[in-house]
Amino acid sequence: MSLVPEQACQGRDLKKSHTLPTLPHTKLCGGDTYTITKISIECEPVPSMAAKVFGAFIVCLIALVVGKDIGPIKEMRTSLTSEVQLGIDLGTTLSVAAVCVQGNVSVIPVEGYSLTPSVVWFDNETDAHEVGAAAVLKRGTHADSVVYASKRLIGLTKADIDKASESLPFVLNTSNGILIELHSGKKQVSPEEVGSLVLQKLKAAAEQSEVLDWFRRSMGFKFHSLTVSVPVTFTDDQRDATMRAGRLAGFDQVRLIDEPVAAALAYGLGRTKEAKEVLVFDLGGGTLDIALMYFSKDAETFFVDATGGEPLLGGEDFDVIVADLLLKDVNDESVSTAFRSCPIMWQKLLVSAEKVKKELSLTDSVEVCLPNINVQDSPCSHSSTVTRNQFEAKSRSKLELAEKAVLDVLEEANVDKLSPLDVVLVGGSSRIPAIRSAIRSILPNARLHYEDVDPDQAVAIGAARSWGCNV
Ligand code: ADP
Ligand code: MG
């Protein structure tokens, strides 16, 4: 990607050089090199923020008197836009938005939460839809009108779909592109549309957010550009489809950043003055993505030495393990059978299991009341206790898969597992203590990074930091 000076200058206020990452848009293979280009741009000096706010206040007053959106207000909007960057981690399970305002990065709450489920419910008759927690609630009752994990489908070709169809939880129409069938085929949506609705939700929350100062909010601030993260293994088609989702969501300019690069940037590892070998281990809801990168000494170049992971290993597998453990205490065979045979009951059990799993990251033992089978709000008829030891014992094969994936990546890059690597643990499932211990035991000399940045938010923070946000 190259910027001509006029484009780069547009939206920059101060007379200074910017070191900007050129973000890879092509499929990554072990050994590929990407250059972080230094672009020196001479821009006209502009007034300080205080002067701008005061100036704009006067302009607003005049506009109020004159009664229309006069030219200087438009200019002010443009100049304020330039100091704010939006980064979105469009996750398979959960999405996160972060904003960099004049060098400070903040995660944007959406309806009070930093994590928004990447789930969309579509109405059968109209264009009505719900995104996030409201759509998740509909999964229990309107399973055939709710789309989740659409990132697994974005940009896939018909041939990819044919190969993976057994592991995809959707009915698909592949006659003209890839469409997800809803309401028993009465409605069809593309994965890009689903992604764009999630992006729109986060965009709207960011535009209303307290993080933007009063002045921006009251000017009806709109984001026009977005940096969105994609898995390092995404193909050109998947990257193009993600860009389309961004444009559908109303962004004029969409930049992509690879998730592990964003995670490393969130920890400031890509911008140090010493050369670094960084392994990013991202265990999310449905996938494990690993990338080994080398950031050169001048902090201008990084190499992707190797990538790997497990496309079908993530938090959902651990939910199933806990759900099975929850049923172990139920003596009544008919109750366990009811949970296992009724999709809605199984779904409810998985929701409880996920909560128990998260608790087990903090405590040794959790007791819960199982969702009631027959009567809503009746007293607890079946309770169950799961311990961390039981969970870890049942998770052993999954942990071994994760360990093997890390060792394979190191082997591919010819890097010794005893070397002093920087290892960044991200993704919500990296909070599982057994995962952290497993990585520590196979990489005894590594420096593990997981405490300073919230593992759910690291990719979004890195995306917001990646472009012109000098923190
Ligand atoms: P994705 O990138 O796939 O959208 P995330 O990185 O946001 O996913 O991770 C979501 C997964 O992390 C979910 O399966 C969730 O249950 C799991 N998770 C979140 N917090 C914890 C925790 N404290 N302990 C264990 N798993 C967790
Ligand atoms: Mg993720």
50-74 confidence digits (pLDDT tens) = 555 565 555 555 555 444 555 555 5
Residue where one domain finishes, among candidates 351, 367, 394 = 394
Angle at 15 between CA 13 and CA 16, to 5 degrees: 105
325 and 218 housed in the same domain:
no
DSSP, residue by residue, 155-206: T--HHHHHHHGGG--S-EE-SSS-EEEEGGGTEEE-HHHHHHHHHHHHHHHH
Place of tokens 């506009």: 63
User: Between 94 and 68, where is the model more confident?
Assistant: 94
Q: Write out pLDDT tens, residues 306-344.
A: 999 998 899 999 999 999 999 988 888 888 888 888 877
Q: What does the pLDDT read at residue 31?
A: 37
Mean pLDDT of 149-178: 82
Read off the CATH number of the domain in which 231 is found. 3.30.420.40
Mean pLDDT of 348-362: 95
Tokens at residue 102, please? 């004049």
Structural domain includes residue 252: yes
Atom number, ligand 1, closest to the C-alpha of residue 318: 14
Q: CB neighbours of 50 closer than 8 A, spacing ≥ 6?
A: none
* pLDDT grade for 466, boundaries at 50, 70 and 90: confident
Structural domain includes residue 127: yes
**pLDDT of 9 above 60:** no
Structural domain includes residue 101: yes
Structural domain includes residue 9: no
- Integer CA distances (angstroms), 116 to 287, 326, 454, in order: 18, 27, 15
Mean pLDDT of 378-390: 86
388 and 462 housed in the same domain:
no
Q: How far apart are CA 179 and CA 183, in angstroms?
A: 13
The number of folded domains in the chain is: 2
* pLDDT grade for 11, boundaries at 50, 70 and 90: very low
User: Between 169 and 180, where is the model more confident?
Assistant: 180
Structural domain includes residue 435: no
- Alpha-carbon Rg for the chain, nearest whole angstrom, is 24
Tokens at residue 238, please? 């998947």
Atom number, ligand 1, closest to the C-alpha of residue 283: 6
Q: What does the pLDDT read at residue 22?
A: 39
251 and 386 housed in the same domain:
no
Q: How far apart are CA 356 and CA 342, in angstroms?
A: 21
Note down the domain range covering 361: 315-394
Q: Write out pLDDT tens, residues 203-223.
A: 999 999 988 877 777 778 889
Ligand 1 — pocket residues by CB below 6 A?
91-94, 284-286, 315-316, 354, 357-358, 361, 427-429, 431-432, 456
Structural domain includes residue 234: yes
Q: What does the pLDDT read at residue 3?
A: 26
Q: Write out pLDDT tens, residues 388-431.
A: 999 999 999 999 999 999 999 999 999 999 999 999 999 999 99
Structural domain includes residue 276: no
Structural domain includes residue 203: yes
Q: How far apart are CA 260 and CA 102, in angstroms?
A: 24
Read off the CATH number of the domain in which 348 is found. 3.90.640.10
Percent of the chain with pLDDT over 70: 78
Q: How far apart are CA 290 and CA 413, in angstroms?
A: 12
Helices (H) and strands (E) in the chain, counts: 16, 22
Mutation pick for ligand 1 pocket among 90, 92, 94 (CB with most ligand atoms within 8 Å)? 94
